[in-house]
């Protein structure tokens, strides 16, 4: 066992523990991830990012939810990783590639006083075919489709942004039943790999408001893939334009669904602090 060095990041309040696994192997069993992410009892975070070497890209990223499960992709997390590798001298270019569970993603960095500040990631193309999200039911797409959950009929739009999403349009985001419907939809039979859930209000053609219930985490202050899902679902339903600002509880993210089909996510990233988890604490978690 060894002390575990980490760097804490956030993007609009969506916070992560980044662990550098480039130089040595890091053992991160699910129960340890869960304890690291527990606020007040651990470091506290919405997820853990593991930086690894890659044979097909500049770097590789693995992303873990607070419950210890692994996610395919994380829009805010990958941008935090981009800031880390540039600011810590692991790359000197303003464009880089990162291998993820959802494929290779390309990042572009904008600097402020010599450090990465606003970062854009090409999130790839959204997927609407149910079998590829995945979503149960007949083949086809779920665009404003009615489903029955817990004796409630809900109209949803389902898609994948490298991970599954379920979007509900509401009149008022602040009063949306996120805590009730979030876990019901996340764990419903319609989504065999569970799903993220977005509650979205269209303010105007280029402006959305959203709250996100993240799979394996719960409600977060911001979510990169969730912002993209909200924007894409709004445009696909002709409720909004393809380039929008998404207002989330922690701050704003910009989403641009370009005509070539690719979705670009842009926003600020902040390094909060660097730290070390003590060996004694790690041993206690492994003994549980």
Do 64 and 148 reside in the same domain of the chain?
no
Read off the pLDDT of each residue in 249-261 and give the average, rounded to a whole number: 98
Buried b (16+ CB within 10 A) or exposed e, 236-263: beebbebebbbbbbbbbbbbbbeeeeeb
Residue 288, pLDDT score: 60
Q: How many residues does the chain have?
A: 288
pLDDT over 90 at 131, yes or no:
yes
Strand pairing partners for 19?
Answer: 50
Do 145 and 241 reside in the same domain of the chain?
yes
Q: pTM for the whole thing?
A: 0.94
65: containing domain: 4-122+269-285
pLDDT over 90 at 98, yes or no:
yes
Percent of the chain with pLDDT over 70: 99
Q: Tokens representing 200? A: 């979205």
Do 257 and 136 reside in the same domain of the chain?
yes
Q: How confident is the model at residue 287 (pLDDT cuts 50, 70, 90)?
A: low
Residue 188, pLDDT score: 96
Do 111 and 155 reside in the same domain of the chain?
no
Do 257 and 273 reside in the same domain of the chain?
no
* DSSP calls for 229-266: HHHHHHHHTTSS-SEEEEEETTEEEEEEE-TTS-EEEE
pLDDT over 90 at 27, yes or no:
no
Do 257 and 142 reside in the same domain of the chain?
yes
CATH of the domain at 219: 3.10.310.10
pLDDT over 60 at 1, yes or no:
no
Do 111 and 217 reside in the same domain of the chain?
no
Strand pairing partners for 6?
Answer: 275
pLDDT digits (tens, 9 = 90+) for 41-58: 999 999 999 999 999 999
Q: Which residue has the higher pLDDT, 28 or 166?
A: 166
Do 211 and 232 reside in the same domain of the chain?
yes
Q: How many CB atoms lie within 10 A of CB 61?
A: 23
For residue 134, is the peptide bond before it cis, meaning its omega torsion is within 30 degrees of 0?
yes
Read off the pLDDT of each residue in 104-132 and give the average, rounded to a whole number: 97
pLDDT digits (tens, 9 = 90+) for 147-184: 999 888 999 999 999 999 999 999 999 999 999 999 99
Do 182 and 234 reside in the same domain of the chain?
yes
Do 96 and 154 reside in the same domain of the chain?
no
- From the candidates 37, 74, 223, 228, which is the catalytic residue? 74
Contact, 135 vs 190, CB < 8 A?
yes
Do 111 and 145 reside in the same domain of the chain?
no
At residue 263, φ and ψ (nearest 5 deg) are -110, 130
Residue 24, pLDDT score: 82
Residue 243, pLDDT score: 98
**Dihedral angle over CA of 267, 272, 277, 281, nearest 10:** -90
Residue 242, pLDDT score: 98
Residue 279, pLDDT score: 81
Residue 216, pLDDT score: 95
Do 144 and 257 reside in the same domain of the chain?
yes
Q: How confident is the model at residue 285 (pLDDT cuts 50, 70, 90)?
A: confident
Q: How many domains does the chain have?
A: 2
Is 106 assigned a catalytic role?
no
Mean pLDDT of the chain: 95
Residue 284, pLDDT score: 82
């Amino acid at each position: 066992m060894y002390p575990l060095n980490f760097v804490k990041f956030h993007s609009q309040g969506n916070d992560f523990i980044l662990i550098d696994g480039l130089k040595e192997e890091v053992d991160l069993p699910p129960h340890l991830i869960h304890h690291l992410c527990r606020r007040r009892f651990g470091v506290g975070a919405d997820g853990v990012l593991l930086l690894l070497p890659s044979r097909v890209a500049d770097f590789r990223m693995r992303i873990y939810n607070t419950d210890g499960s692994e996610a395919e992709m994380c829009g805010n997390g990958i941008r935090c990783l981009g800031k880390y590798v540039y600011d810590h001298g692991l790359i000197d270019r303003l464009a880089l590639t990162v291998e993820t569970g959802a494929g290779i993603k390309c990042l572009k960095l904008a600097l402020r006083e010599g450090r990465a500040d606003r970062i854009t990631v090409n999130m790839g193309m959204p997927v609407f075919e149910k079998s590829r999200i995945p979503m149960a039911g007949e083949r086809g797409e779920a665009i404003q489709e009615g489903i029955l959950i817990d004796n409630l009929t809900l109209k949803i739009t389902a898609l994948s942004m490298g991970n599954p999403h379920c979007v509900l349009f509401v009149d008022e985001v602040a009063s949306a039943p996120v805590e009730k419907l979030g876990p019901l939809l996340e764990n419903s039979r319609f989504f065999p790999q569970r799903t993220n859930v977005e509650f979205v209000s269209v303010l105007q053609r280029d402006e959305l408001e959203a709250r996100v219930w993240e799979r394996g985490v719960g409600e977060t202050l911001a979510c990169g893939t969730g912002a993209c899902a909200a924007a894409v679902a709004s445009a696909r339903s002709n409720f909004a334009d393809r380039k929008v600002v998404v207002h989330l509880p922690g701050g704003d993210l910009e989403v641009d669904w370009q005509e070539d089909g690719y979705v670009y996510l842009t926003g600020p990233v902040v390094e909060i602090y660097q730290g070390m988890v003590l060996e004694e604490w790690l041993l206690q978690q492994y003994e549980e």
